[in-house]
């Protein structure tokens, strides 16, 4: 009798969960973006959230939870109820870089999340303050070798993409630069524009306005090919830094244990958003390259990125 009651209870719970998944979403969905408003991840998140809100007939609200290279927001998402009402716009930084730099983070990027779909790749761009006498990457390298350690670069924090992108640059070029960490790319770009630091490799969306206005000089983009929004700016490889390709990718994840039916619904809506003309227009205006994926493909991609950045962090000797 007890076994029958237990079986009935399990069946009832399964039916209730299935019915809830079919009705999903019935209320506001929170999208955690673990970086500051106005940065590359935020630009991507808000474009996707707006489209999803219209499709869901329920608001999808971006919540910026910043700090520790995105790990604060990632931890919050990992500990949220696995019901589909809290999702994470995860990225290279808090999923495959900072956990390698700081193994004490209180979440596991593989174990604690269910990958839903990639959203897009955000190019980075090597920029310098106009007062720095460098108009090309070659100029910058000559200057850095003549003044080792004097050129300061900013980032969104130790272990963030904008930090490790420069560490990778240093590894390949053998120059010495001094790191100045900030709480986000926006703050780093602001100080760079003010001339308090001399260079950075921020996300393109956070820097493109300053570049077009002449307040920053763009020396190279970090993608394999040139980006349409900066057609005259060479890639790092074209500029002589062979083997250098880095982007800040972004994708939607849910807490581990989120029902499969809800994950499938989220994946379908994220893919629809990425394919929509409105989102693609917003992405292209900021140099973002749209890219959706299946959950399995996204999971495999995260594992491959973890392997890559584990090597870079070890070689660069980066610590928290």
Q: Give strand ranges (E) for the chain.
A: 29-33, 60-64, 86-91, 113-123, 125-128, 152-155, 178-181, 199-200, 217-221, 247-255, 289-290
Q: 92 with 149: CB under 8 angstroms?
A: no
Residue 160: pLDDT band with limits 50, 70, 90: confident
Which range among 107-116, 183-192, 301-310 shows the weakest confidence by mean pLDDT?
183-192
The CA distance from 132 to 83, in Å, is: 51
Instruction: Reply yes or no on whether the pLDDT at 243 is more than 70.
Output: yes
Share of the chain above pLDDT 90, in %: 80
Average pLDDT over residues 206-221: 95
Average pLDDT, the chain: 92
Average pLDDT over residues 266-284: 95
Q: What is the pLDDT of residue 4?
A: 62
Read off the pLDDT band of 59 (50, 70, 90): very high
Q: Is the pLDDT of residue 47 over 60?
A: yes
Pick the CATH number of 125-221 from 3.40.1190.10, 3.40.190.10, 1.10.8.590, 1.10.1330.10: 3.40.190.10
Which residues of the chain are in CATH 3.40.190.10 domains?
A: 125-221
Please name the CATH architecture into which domain 27-123+248-316 falls: 3-Layer(aba) Sandwich (3.40)
Res. 5: pLDDT tops 70: no
pLDDT at 16: 47
Q: Is 128's pLDDT higher than 60? A: yes
Q: Which pLDDT band, with edges at 50, 70 and 90, does 206 fall under?
A: confident
What span, in angstroms and rounded, lies between the C-alpha atoms of 220 and 224? Answer: 11
What confidence category does residue 183 fall into, taking pLDDT thresholds of 50, 70 and 90?
confident
Look at residue 172 and tell me whether its pLDDT is greater than 80.
Answer: yes
Measured CA to CA, the distance from residue 119 to residue 236 in angstroms comes to 24
pTM score: 0.82
pLDDT band at 20 (very low <50, low <70, confident <90, very high): low
- Using an 8 Å Cβ cutoff, are 167 and 312 in contact? yes
Identify the pLDDT of residue 159.
86
Parts of the chain belonging to CATH 3.40.190.150:
27-123+248-316
């Amino acid at each position: 009798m007890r076994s029958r009651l237990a079986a009935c209870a399990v069946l009832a719970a399964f039916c209730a969960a299935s019915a809830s998944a079919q009705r999903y979403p019935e209320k506001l969905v929170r999208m955690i973006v673990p970086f500051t408003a106005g940065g590359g991840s935020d630009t991507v998140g808000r474009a996707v959230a707006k489209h999803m809100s219209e499709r869901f007939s329920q608001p999808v609200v971006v919540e910026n939870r910043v700090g520790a290279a995105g790990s604060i927001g990632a931890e919050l998402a990992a500990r949220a109820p696995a019901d589909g009402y809290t999702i994470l716009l995860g990225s290279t930084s808090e999923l495959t870089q900072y956990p390698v730099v700081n193994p004490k983070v209180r979440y596991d990027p593989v174990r604690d999340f269910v990958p839903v779909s990639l959203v897009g790749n955000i190019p980075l761009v090597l920029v310098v303050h106009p007062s720095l006498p460098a108009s090309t990457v070659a100029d910058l390298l000559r200057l850095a070798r003549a003044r080792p350690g004097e050129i300061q670069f900013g980032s969104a924090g130790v272990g963030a993409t904008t930090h490790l992108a420069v560490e990778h640059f240093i590894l390949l070029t053998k120059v010495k630069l001094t790191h100045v960490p900030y709480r986000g790319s926006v703050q780093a770009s602001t100080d760079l524009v003010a001339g308090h630091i001399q260079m950075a490799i921020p996300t393109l969306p956070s820097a493109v306005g300053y570049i077009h206005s002449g307040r920053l000089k763009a020396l190279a983009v970090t993608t394999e090919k040139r980006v349409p929004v900066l057609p005259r700016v060479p890639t790092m490889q074209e500029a002589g830094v062979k083997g250098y390709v880095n982007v800040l990718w972004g994708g939607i994840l849910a807490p581990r244990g989120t029902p499969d039916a809800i994950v499938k619904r989220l994946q379908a809506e994220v893919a629809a958003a990425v394919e929509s003309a409105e989102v693609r227009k917003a992405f292209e205006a900021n140099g973002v390259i749209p890219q959706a994926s299946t959950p399995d493909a996204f999971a495999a991609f995260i594992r491959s990125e973890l392997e890559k950045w584990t090597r870079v962090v070890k070689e660069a000797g980066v610590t928290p």
